[in-house]
Amino acid sequence: MAAQAKPRRRRLALVASRGSLDGAYPPLILAATAASLGWEVGIFFTFYGLDILHKKRHKKLKVAPIGNPAMPVAIPNLVGALPGMTAAATTMMRRWMKRANLPTIPQFLDMARESGARLFACSTTMGVMGIREADLVPGADIAGAAAFLDFAAEADVSLFV
Amino acid sequence: MAAQAKPRRRRLALVASRGSLDGAYPPLILAATAASLGWEVGIFFTFYGLDILHKKRHKKLKVAPIGNPAMPVAIPNLVGALPGMTAAATTMMRRWMKRANLPTIPQFLDMARESGARLFACSTTMGVMGIREADLVPGADIAGAAAFLDFAAEADVSLFV
Amino acid sequence: MAAQAKPRRRRLALVASRGSLDGAYPPLILAATAASLGWEVGIFFTFYGLDILHKKRHKKLKVAPIGNPAMPVAIPNLVGALPGMTAAATTMMRRWMKRANLPTIPQFLDMARESGARLFACSTTMGVMGIREADLVPGADIAGAAAFLDFAAEADVSLFV
């Protein structure tokens, strides 16, 4: 955007489509970082990502112990499929996040709201994912993909996570 | 892109890299929405995403019942690994999509073609994924990553899904 | 970016967040293609994607045989969970990549470095993923998300993989 005639705030447009704990952190870290740099931020939560806006579910996002061979502690898939392993992998990642001084998911959402970030809840997939307006954290706007594309069209950086 | 001197059509450049049913919907929904807003749209189908362009396979895209702790109906991984569970999760998601009045994957592709969207099939990964030109839906262009980057360089929004 | 007053090099900004073999190829292929077109390239390796920069681990990236119903050779999840199946899926994909004449991951990184691409290792998630500076390939810069956003703000195409 070097051709900009007059200075304006930079803008970050994110899509958050994943609902696992390790899928929720990247968009929230990027959003918090951009906001701390003075950028305008908007996040479009869609599909499984809607869980990040879900008042109850977002406190309990989980990590899958299987299907990801890059997990820091290698877990054979057969072991990963045993009852209790999702809970174990989730506890482990929570502990890592805490050690790295990262906020929790609800804390990140509070920070986003306080910084003025726009939180779009995808209207098309709310029904598909079984999420109603009353389930969402305060400050979320129910919006369609068209509203997100309008917002992203003027963004300096757009990322689908 | 506020600095544009004269009006031109906005452009959306997408990479569709996933071949599951829940991975295929987001780029197709974004493409259809952008086209309905009058945007120019191009989708680069690569790796598993090539299945979306595959005449036979794209009618049978599936949902993995394991490795995704954000599935609306929680399924323990050990149960998810049982024979038949992939089919069950897929049937469930198809039903949700229908209830949300979303078109099927082949319908979305027809809409994309009719709206003039460009469908690029990644030449580099066609061989890797065992897909030949005759397998593709009509209207798909076999192209390399360079063609996609050229298209995306002039886009207002580029997203890798 | 048609409004650019004077010609400058195009720029590609990538986030590489996945640490599986099939998750590592797309950003590296895009980076190599952009570099061959004369673009400036930067890749921000974060979360599991840090494994791509890990001197030892990046030679042994794996493919998950479960949780991905789009695998070219369909493997029932229960079979995919058996010991040895991750190794089998990985060997299979390595063979495909070789047949398609694709460089290995270490070769792609060498190419990236030689082309002048910037390799950012995410400082925030290095601790989380248990990766220290001495583990990284030469030429990687440890940097935060702010450095990546600065780089991406001037990019023609930004993609989160």
Task: Work out how many CB contacts closer than 8 A connect A with C.
Answer: 109
Residue A91 φ then ψ, to 5°: -60, -40
Nearest CA in chain C to B1: C1
Conformation bin of residue A101: beta by default, left when phi > 0, alpha when psi is -120 to 50: left
Q: How far is CA B38 from CA A37, A154, B41, C160, in A?
A: 33, 16, 9, 25
Instruction: State the average pLDDT for chain C.
Output: 89
Lowest-confidence region among B73-77, B152-156, C155-159 = B73-77
List of chain B residues whose C-beta atoms are within 8 Å of the C-beta of residue A85:
77
Distance from CA of B113 to the nearest CA of A (A): 19
Residues A99-154 have pLDDT tens digits of 888 899 999 999 999 999 999 999 999 988 889 999 999 999 999 999 999 999 99
Q: What is the mean pLDDT of chain A?
A: 89
Average pLDDT over residues B59-74: 78
Cβ A153–B158 below 8 Å, yes or no? no
Q: Which residue in C64, C127, C159 is closest to A67 by CB distance?
A: C64
What's the pLDDT score for residue C14? 98
Would the CB atoms of B100 and A61 count as touching at under 8 Å?
no
pLDDT in the model for residue C75: 66
Question: In the predicted model, is pLDDT for residue A25 greater than 60?
Answer: yes
- Kindly tell me if the per-residue pLDDT of B94 is higher than 60: yes
Is the per-residue pLDDT at B1 higher than 70? no
Residue B61 near residue B32, CB atoms below 8 Å: no
- Percent of chain B topping pLDDT 70: 91
Q: Under an 8 A CB cutoff, do B33 and A125 touch?
A: no
Whether the CB-CB separation of B21 and B59 falls below 8 Å is answered with no
Alpha carbons B72 and A47: distance in angstroms, whole number = 10
DSSP class of residue C76 equals -
- The DSSP string of chain A is -TT-SS----EEEEEE---SHHHHHHHHHHHHHHHHTT-EEEEEE-GGGGGGGBTTGGGS----SSS-TT-SS---HHHHTSTTHHHHHHHHHHHHHHHTTPPPHHHHHHHHHHTT-EEEEEHHHHHHTT--GGGBPTTEEEE-HHHHHHHHHT-SEEEE-
Higher pLDDT, C71 or C102: C102
Cβ distance of C77 and B63 shorter than 8 Å: no
* Mean pLDDT computed over C12-29: 96
Task: Determine which of A30, A37, A161 to mutate to test the interface with C (most C C-beta atoms within 10 Å).
Answer: A30
Of B65, B153, B155, the CB nearest to C10: B153
Subunits with 3+ C-beta pairs closer than 8 A to A: B, C
C68: nearest Cα among A148, A127, B42, B24: B24
Of B20, B80, B125, the CB nearest to C68: B20
Q: Which residue has the higher pLDDT, C23 or A88?
A: C23
- The model's confidence at residue C98, banded by pLDDT at 50, 70 and 90, is confident
Is the confidence at residue B71, as pLDDT, over 80? no
Q: Which of A86, A146, A159 lies at the smallest CB-CB distance from B37? A: A146
In chain B, pLDDT over 90 holds for what percent of residues? 66
pLDDT above 70: residue C68? yes
pTM score, two decimals? 0.91
- Pairing mode of beta strands B140-143, B118-122: parallel
Residues of C in contact with A159 (CB under 8 A): 15, 158-160
Q: What are phi and psi of B38, to 5 degrees?
A: 90, 10
What is the rounded CA–CA span in Å between residue C108 and residue C46? Answer: 18
End-to-end CA separation in angstroms for chain A = 22
Look at residue A98 in the predicted model and tell me its pLDDT: 84
CB-CB: which of B3, B152, B158 is closest to C3?
B3
Calculate how close chain B gets to C134, using CA atoms only, in Å.
31
| pLDDT for residue C135 is more than 90 | yes
Q: Which two tokens stand for residue A137?
A: 């954290």
Q: pLDDT tier at C93 (50, 70, 90 boundaries)?
A: confident
Residue B49 Cα, gap to closest chain A Cα (Å):
15
What's the count of helices (H) and strands (E) in chain B, helices before strands? Answer: 6, 5
Say how far apart CA A75 and CA A89 lie, in whole Å.
Answer: 9
- Contact in structure between A66 and B65 (CB atoms under 8 Å): no
pLDDT value of position B137: 96
Task: Tell me which of A2-11, A90-99, C33-42, C141-150 is least confident.
Answer: A2-11
Neighbours of C59 (CB within 10 A): 10
Cβ of B80 within 8 Å of Cβ of C81? The answer is: no
Strands (E), B19-143: 40-45, 118-122, 140-143
Does C73 score more than 90 pLDDT? no
Query: Are A32 and A114 contacting, i.e. CB atoms less than 8 angstroms apart?
Result: no
Interface contacts (A, B; CB < 8 Å): 110
Q: Which residue from A minimizes the CA distance to C3? A: A3
Q: So what's the ipTM on this one?
A: 0.89
The answer to whether the CB atoms of A125 and B39 lie below 8 A apart is no
Whether residue A31 has pLDDT greater than 80 = yes
Taking residues C46-75, what's their average pLDDT?
85
Task: Give yes or no for a contact between C70 and B51, defined as CB atoms under 8 angstroms apart.
Answer: yes
Q: Give per-residue pLDDT as tens, A61-81.
A: 988 777 777 776 666 776 676
Neighbors of chain B by Cβ distance (3+ pairs < 8 Å): A, C
Percent of chain C with pLDDT over 70: 90
Determine the Cα–Cα distance for residues C117 and C129; give it in Å rounded to an integer.
23
Residue pair C122/A33 in contact by the 8 Å Cβ criterion: no
Judge: A3–C3 Cβ closer than 8 Å, yes or no.
yes
Closest Cα of chain B to A20: distance in Å? 6
Mean of the per-residue pLDDT values for chain B?
Answer: 89
